[in-house]
Structure formats: structure tokens, C-alpha cells
A and B are shown apart, each in its own frame.
Chain A
Amino acid sequence: GIQVEQSPPDLILQEGANSTLRCNFSDSVNNLQWFHQNPWGQLINLFYIPSGTKQNGRLSATTVATERYSLLYISSSQTTDSGVYFCAVANSGAGSYQLTFGKGTKLSVIP
């Protein structure tokens, strides 16, 4: 199956700093999603981005499908950005609609 690696595993930022989270995947995909897991465990959708670039406020994401990686940018970080960020991919062309998740990046934003 597809392998997903996220880096860094842990990240500590001062409030106001910018950060880049990376997701590498081992095979072609036609679904890539970024999630933020809140303290209660719910996965909040950030981006659905199998290719290209998207922006939503202080967050943006880029996926370069041909090189099998995706980046999540967080600018002007706030304490509410703390939590775990997951990248998940799928390749439905292989007959499987399951998302394969990376192990996540734990972000801590300190005041």
C-alpha cells in the first residue's frame, strides 16, 4: 500500500512565526487531504488538494503530485493553531477509497 511520511514530527513555534509542514507519499494519488485534529479528537478538514495550490486565510497548501509531496504553510501562527496536523492520501484508481494517514506533525504554538 501507499506509504505516507510527515515531517517534522514535532514543531514548537513562537506565536506569530511561520511554518511549513511536509508530506511525502510513495505512489500516485488522486486524493490528498490535510486535517487538523482538535483536542477532542475530531479531524477538521483543512484542504482537499490532490494537486495544485490552495489558500484559506493564513493557511495554504501545495501538492506536487509528480514529485509525490505536499506542503502545508501556516503563517502568523496563533495559539489556536496548536494540535496535530495529518496528511492523508488515497488512490481510488486502485479500487480502494481508503485514506492512508501519516503519523502527523504535532504543532505547539507558545505565546
Chain B
Amino acid sequence: KAGVTQTPRYLIKTRGQQVTLSCSPISGHRSVSWYQQTPGQGLQFLFEYFSETQRNKGNFPGRFSGRQFSNSRSEMNVSTLELGDSALYLCASSLLGDGPYEQYFGPGTRLTVT
């Protein structure tokens, strides 16, 4: 079974631009979560989607948004990019999302904002 896939793997953007990252969960997994990793803040939760609904959101500004499609694929969008948005963005999927199920992570998208 294929793992979680994320595209693109690397991205360079300029301040003020916007970016969209994509995540395809493991087949059959319906819950998708997004995390941001930076050297200063570590791994922080962004949001979690289940059945196209956002169930939880972390402490991030409204510039960070996401959505989930009917096939469970998810996208996250960051508008008006700032230098501090440079980070590794990780997507995780879990089986059903209505219990404490194990989460599996994708390889990440490394975003650099210049």
C-alpha cells in the first residue's frame, strides 16, 4: 500500500505570494492533519480534516487555510507569505479519525520564503 504523498517536495516563494501544498493520504484513510516544523518552534499542529470538515485548528493566523476533498486528498494554502513561514510542512493521515488511531506522515514539503 502506498504511503502518504505530498507535492511539491520543495518550493521557493517570495514574500507576499501565496502557496498551495497538496497531500494524498494512504488509501482508505479519511483523516488528514497538517503540521509545521521549524527549528525554533519544533513541530506544531496546523489543522485536521475528516470527511471534508475541519475538526481542529492550531494556533496559526488566518493566512493558513486548508480543505479536504471527497477522495480524502487535502490541500493547505498560505496567503501573503512571510519570511517566518519558511518551514517543513508535514501531512499525516490516519485510518478513520474517530478514535486514537496511529498517524502516518508524508515526506513533507520544504517551503523557503525569500
Contact = CB atoms under 8 A, between A and B. Distances in A.
Interface of A: 30-31, 33, 35, 40-43, 45, 48, 50, 86, 88, 90-92, 95-101, 103-104
Contacts of B58: 98
14 contacts: A31-B100, A31-B102, A41-B88, A42-B107, A50-B100, A86-B43, A92-B99, A97-B48, A97-B56, A97-B94, A99-B33, A99-B35, A101-B35, A101-B42
Interface residues of B, number: 29
Interface of B: 31, 33, 35, 37, 42-45, 48, 50, 55-56, 58, 88, 90, 92, 94, 97, 99-108, 110
Contact of B33 (A48, A86, A95, A97): A97
A90 B35 CA distance: 14
Nearest to B33: A98
A103 B58 CA distance: 17
Interface centre among B31, B48, B58, B100 (most CB of A within 10 A): B100
A87 to B, nearest CB: 11
A45 B110 contact: no
A33 B50 CA distance: 20
Closest 6 CB pairs of A and B: A31-B100, A101-B43, A48-B102, A98-B45, A43-B105, A30-B100
A35 B42 CA distance: 14
